[in-house]
Each structure stands twice: as C-alpha cells, then as structure tokens.
Structure 1
C-alpha cells in the first residue's frame, strides 16, 4: 500500500470508527504483523487531537511460550498496574481500537487449549468493569483489519501480496469512495431503515430454515434491532466495527428450539472450528458436533453457563460487498459481516429497550439478556437461508429469502 492510502484508512478509523474527541486518550491493540497500521492510527490520533496514545502488543507466539512454561496458578496472574490502567481508561473516557490479529494467527507456536482457557477467563474477569462499559457502548471502540503478507496468501493464494489484498478490501471498507466517512454514514442510514422496519413488526420469534438448519429463536418485547453506527451517552456516533453490514438484537436467552449449522470457519479460543451443528432446547445448547475444532468447543462450553445460550442474533444480506467477494477471510470481523450469524455468550444490553439501566447480572437475567465472560460469533447464513418473522399479533412475514432481505 502507498503511504497516502494507509493514512486515508487510518483517518477513517480515527474520525469515524471511534469518532475521536480532542483531548481524549486512545488504546490500540495490535499484533507484530500489523504494527505498521497501529503506528499510522497513532499518528492520525495525534493529528486529530488525542491527549495520549498507548499501543498494546498482543503476540500469540509469546502467548504460546507463557502457556508452555507457566502452571495454572501463574496463568491467572494479572499485574495490578493494568487495573489502574483500566480505571483511567474508563474514568477519562478513552477510546479502544483493536486490529484483528490476522497475521499472528498464521505465525505462532501451538497454543495449549486448556491453559489458554484458564488464562483467557482470568483476563476477562480482571477487565470485567472496562468490558461492561464497552459492551454497553458507554465508551467508543472499533475493531478493524489491516492487510499483511501472510493473511494475503491465506485469503488469495500463495502468489498474493499485501497490495493484492488491499485491492480486495478497498471497496469493502468503502475506501474507493470520494469521502469514505460520508459513505459509511450513508451505509448506516440504510441499516437504520432496515432496523426501523423490523422493530415496527413486533417480532416474537424468528424461524431459520435451510438445508442444514431449522431453528426458532424467541425475543422479549424489549428487543430492538440496532447496528451500523452506535450512539454514545453524549449523542456522538461511532462504528464499533469497520466494516459493518449487520443489524442485530439481543434474543431471549431462554427461547431457542431446533438446530443450526455454521457455514464459515470460526476461531474459538484461537482454534479454528468448521461445520458446527448446535442443537438447542429451552434456549440452551444441549448437543454439538463439529467437523473441526470439537476440543476447542468443549473448552469453550466449560468456561461458564452462559456460553451455552445466545447473546446476539445478527442479520446480514448475502449481497453485501463482503459476501459478493466469495472469499473466506478467516477474520471474524469480515466473515461475520458476510453472513447472518448468532453469538453464544454475553448479550448486548444496548439492543434492549432501556437496556442501559440494566447494571447488575440479576437485572440482566430478569430481562432474559444472557451473561457470560465470552461472546463468540458463529456464521450461519447461506444462499438457501429463509427467515420468517412471527409477530406478536399473529402475522408470519418472510424477512429473508435465499439469504437476501425481502424489504
């Protein structure tokens, strides 16, 4: 990529992704292979008035070494200065950017799955207060991607380069538009119209039907579809994901019946899973089989009770730019925005009416909003997917046919 192209992309994330306000701090998490983009994001943040930028390195190869050489008690250790760091992050209203670790997943020593589960759970418990603020959209955050040589070869083939992958990503990121930020605002407007339509229906259940799925998911009256740009308490808009094509809501975690099969690979505890068939009863996963990654799922479901229940239902049209690329990106950010998906684990209070008032786990559970240390998206959409909405006043309305919205 040329320098101007990188700077233009970084400015989009800073101005649109987190909508940085002058005088605020930014935390950027990256792997070694995408540090070049973290650097450009940092420069852009300072150009747009950031008070301070902290780049955090997340190296899966170093993680593999820690897992190899430490026992279970040592893996639960988190230094206290990180707690102070989280406190300042929350109290001062900082922004969080994470660059998906597409390069590092292709260049690290083997990860001990059982130990990784222990370490990951300890880290999530340690940072639960900050995560709670981010999940409720009380602070701005954005997940993005950056092309690299290893990822380019994985997606496009052995002869592909970083520049080749960027050419694919440009229309997906709307960087081919004259004004990318304005283009994303227009995309958000389209997604808002879809949300408004569905929210006016008064949906009680959604019925998913395809050659590999037959699942009915229920919703409380508080459920509201959201997506595109999100809104902070002060009214500012930000994009939690760039790119984004989804509209999503929080289901009733006690109401899911039937089975559904994943249609794209998904990383679970840094392990690839494929063709996972989940069977639900009374909202709970009661059986599961995977063509690949069964052991990782076993460890995932052992983390807490909430991992067996749904926290998110997301709808994505199969005509989205990502879907039309006909590529598997092996990045949850991109692949989930190419396909309808469901998340097991933590639900989004922000997708419930008056959800911001649900501060405790007890309040969330009373609202049938799932609680968990985890939140993992599984893609289930396909070109033969039909989704029918059953409304509270007795209507049946097909909202998606052959993977495409009908409205």
Structure 2
C-alpha cells in the first residue's frame, strides 16, 4: 500500500479515532506487523500537537512460544512495572490507540485453559487501567492493518500470491473505514454519525423493556434491557466531553442487557477468533441471563474457557444492532477478525457492560451498577448472530411489540 494512503488512514485514526488533543500524550499498543502504520500514526500525532507518543509493541509469535513453554505461575505473574507502564500515563490524561494485525489461529495448539488463566491474571492486574476505556475516562480507538497470514486466511484463493492477498485485504480495510485516494474520510465519518444519531434517538424514545430476536439459524432469544438504558453508536464522548470513535470501522448501535434478563437460544452466524483460536458453528442457551448450555463444531474447549473465564463471563454485557445492509456485510467478506465481522452482523458480548449505556452509569460505583442490572467481568468478547432474515421486535412495558428489524435490516 502506498505511503500517501497510509498517511491518510493514520490522520483519520489520530484526528477522528482518538481525537488527540493538543498537548495530550498518546499511547500506541501495536502488533509488530503494523510497524509502518504505527510510524505513520506517530508522525501524525506529533503533527496534531501531541506532547509525547509512547509505543508498545507486541508479537503473537513470541507470545505463542511463551504460552507453550512457560509454566502457569510464570504466566500469571504480572509485575507491577508492567501495570504502571501504561497506567501512569493514563492517570496523567493520555489517550490510547490500538493498532491490531492479528494472526488467526496463532494459539490453536496451545492449552486454552493456560491462556485463560494468564489472561485473567492480566485482566485483574490491569483492572484500574481498563476502567479508563470501559468508563470513557479518556479517548481510545482500535484500527487494523493486514499481514500475510491474515490475508491468506481471508483470501485463500490467492494461494502463493501472498503480496496480492495483502493488497486486497488493505483495499477491503480501507473501504470499511471510508479511506480512499479521492475523498475526505473525516467528512464521511461526520455524515455517517448523522445516521447513527437518527436511529439512536428513535430507539431511546421507544424505551423498550426487551428485544426478541428470531432467525432461520435457530436463534430465539429474548434480551431484557436495563431500566433507563441508553442506546449509543458511532462516536462516543469522554467524561470531559471529548468526542472520539472507539472502533474503526463501526456500524453498530448498542445498549446494556439486564444481567439476569436473557432467555432462550442464540446461534452464532460467523466464526469467532478468540485468544488466537477459532470457534465455529456454536450456540448458547440462556436462562435468567446465564449461559446454561452450549456447543460448537470447532473450538468447544475455547468457547468453554470464554464462558467460564470468570464469574461474569457467562452473562451478557452488550447487545448490538447492525443492519445486514451495512457495507461490511454487503462486501461478503468474512474477515476472521471481530473488529470487522461484528460490524457486519448483530452481535452480543459476553462479559463486562459499558456504564455509559445506563443513565448516570458513568458516575455509579460497582454496587450501584449492580443494582441497575449491569454485568461485571474481566473480559468483554463480542460474537455475531445476525443474518439476512433476522427479525427483531421491541417489547414495551405493556407487552405490545414494535418491529425493529425485518429481513435483517431496520424498519425505521
């Protein structure tokens, strides 16, 4: 991909993604395959007036070797300096940009339980830092760039032509985030936000008690929503009023399920890449909000580790609506990457709920959020279940139903 278009993408990530403020520090967490994009973002950040840009690189191939050979005690030993290497900057007002370039299936031959224990230890140690993004205490955003392994997973028809596959994936990613050589991507994101605002307003005005999902795959699920829930989507706002876009791309409108209010069966419509392992052909049964049964054609052990990650990971923290007419869905491409695939399909998230999705939630403590019906967990993992014949009915307090989706798309 040429440097000019990478620079344009980087400018979008800095100006519209994290919306870096003049004099603010930027943390970048990047995969090693994203070096070129990372360098472009560092340059754009300083051009935007960054006080300092601090880059942390991670390499999943190295992590794979560590997972395979280090013992559990070592894996679960999170050192204090590792926590404070990011937390200290966040406390001083830094924002954070994640630049991902994941390797599908990189941990497929690693013990899933071992990974889960290490991830849980890391999540517990970094709970305070994680609150900065979960509670919008600062701006944060996630973008992606391709690598050869990922590109060949998405486009196996290219066979040995790895470079051509990478270029094709670049084109698909740039299209999804509205970056082209001849356009103003920031203006397009502003226009897209106007569409989000219209639908969010309509959903908030309905004040639904619950949503009922059905489709031909076998999903028959009722998701009760917390009282005084708030629908959100597109851009978000920090507690200090700075607008940012956490996911690039984004097509979702989402809110908070009531922890104990989910009943029925959900069948996934797309594979899930979780902890470097693929989960495919899976379903879950919920009773009083909790997953009580599940199965998968591929990756059942990995799915089990997700569901049993901690006390809250068997409950939902998010319900998100994405029309089948979204550009990513219409592309017909399965990205094997949740950042993209979740924006092609309605999805749910096991784990932590976003406090912003209930009135006054940002100012609530954990006990108050519990009373409001929010779920708590050290993880938050989206999985896709929408398709082109999804029907959704909004259920009002009086039991009446309002059509929300028909044939996979909004009716308003």
When normalised by structure 1's length, the TM-score is 0.96
Deviation at 1:123, TM superposition (A): 0.7
Q: Is the Cα–Cα contact under 8 Å of residues 152 and 162 in structure 1 kept in the other structure?
A: yes
Deviation at 1:162, TM superposition (A): 2.3
Deviations 1:193-214 (A, max 9, x none): 1110011011001000112110
Of 104-113 and 379-388, more deviation after overlay is shown by 104-113
Matches within 5 A, 1:371-382: 371-382=376-387
* Secondary structure of 1:267 counterpart: strand
5+ residue gaps, structure 1: none
Q: Is the Cα–Cα contact under 8 Å of residues 207 and 228 in structure 2 kept in the other structure?
A: no
**Aligned-partner Cα distance in 1 for 2:35–2:142:** 15
**Aligned-partner Cα distance in 2 for 1:149–1:354:** 45
Aligned to 1:184: 189
**Aligned-partner Cα distance in 2 for 1:278–1:383:** 20
Matches within 5 A, 1:7-406: 7-102=7-102, 104-105=103-104, 110-157=109-156, 158=158, 159=161, 160-176=164-180, 178-211=183-216, 212-360=218-366, 362-406=367-411
Deviation at 1:100, TM superposition (A): 2.4
Q: Is the Cα–Cα contact under 8 Å of residues 347 and 386 in structure 2 kept in the other structure?
A: yes
**Aligned-partner Cα distance in 1 for 2:52–2:69:** 34
Deviation at 1:109, TM superposition (A): 8.0
Distance 1:41 1:86, change over 3 A: same
**Aligned-partner Cα distance in 2 for 1:266–1:235:** 34
**Aligned-partner Cα distance in 1 for 2:228–2:364:** 12
Deviation at 1:170, TM superposition (A): 2.7
Q: Is the Cα–Cα contact under 8 Å of residues 204 and 221 in structure 1 kept in the other structure?
A: yes
**Aligned-partner Cα distance in 2 for 1:385–1:100:** 30
Q: Is the Cα–Cα contact under 8 Å of residues 104 and 273 in structure 2 kept in the other structure?
A: no
Deviation at 1:27, TM superposition (A): 1.4
**Aligned-partner Cα distance in 1 for 2:300–2:106:** 22
**Aligned-partner Cα distance in 2 for 1:147–1:253:** 36
Structure 1 runs of 4+ aligned residues shifted over 4 Å read 106-109
* Secondary structure of 1:255 counterpart: strand
5+ residue gaps, structure 2: none
Q: Is the Cα–Cα contact under 8 Å of residues 61 and 109 in structure 1 kept in the other structure?
A: no
Deviation at 1:332, TM superposition (A): 0.4
* Secondary structure of 1:399 counterpart: strand
Q: Is the Cα–Cα contact under 8 Å of residues 247 and 314 in structure 1 kept in the other structure?
A: yes
* Secondary structure of 2:209 counterpart: strand
Distance 1:356 1:146, change over 3 A: same
Deviation at 1:37, TM superposition (A): 1.1
Q: Is the Cα–Cα contact under 8 Å of residues 345 and 371 in structure 1 kept in the other structure?
A: yes
The CA RMSD over aligned residues, in Å, is 1.5
**Aligned-partner Cα distance in 1 for 2:19–2:332:** 31
Q: Is the Cα–Cα contact under 8 Å of residues 318 and 324 in structure 1 kept in the other structure?
A: yes
* Secondary structure of 1:400 counterpart: strand
Deviation at 1:26, TM superposition (A): 1.3
Q: Is the Cα–Cα contact under 8 Å of residues 269 and 300 in structure 1 kept in the other structure?
A: no
Q: Is the Cα–Cα contact under 8 Å of residues 37 and 145 in structure 2 kept in the other structure?
A: yes
